Structure 1
């Protein structure tokens, strides 16, 4: 049995993310922005629904304030 550690190709790569992840990033950012806009509309139009989805007003405010690139 060989006791030398194997290096995965992803670990050997000088790039921390894959090309596919980079290509999918704009769609992810658009989805985050869309969800945050919808949450903001819901918070203004139907604030009682915020509690129904299990969030506090503070949690909603913090989520809405995040830029699109933050998870």
Structure 2
């Protein structure tokens, strides 16, 4: 799953590939709100998963995960997929 959408402008994307420093900065700034949104969703998901694992551990099987998978997911930092 790709966390970042494709660029709307091919020109900016091509400049990014060429290594144009200004384009890199613009690309990074344009992606910042999207990255923050993704990070927040991961934080909320992992927090809710942890709460569910503690309160109702039998529901972990219902979502198709094993206990070790849940523990591994909870242990990840927010920036990691």
Q: Give the TM-score normalised by structure 1.
A: 0.77
Q: After alignment, is 30-39 or 13-22 more displaced?
A: 13-22
The 1:62/1:17 distance shift into structure 2, 3 A limit, reads farther
Q: Which has the higher contact order (CA 8 A, sep 6+)?
A: 1
Give the C-alpha shift of residue 23 in structure 1: 2.4
Q: Distance in 1 between matches of 2:25 and 2:71?
A: 32
Larger radius of gyration: 1
- Describe the SS at the equivalent of 2:79: coil
1:60 equivalenced with 2:70 (yes/no): yes
**Matched length:** 65
Q: Give the TM-score normalised by structure 2.
A: 0.68
Give the C-alpha shift of residue 27 in structure 1: 1.4
The 1:57/1:20 distance shift into structure 2, 3 A limit, reads same
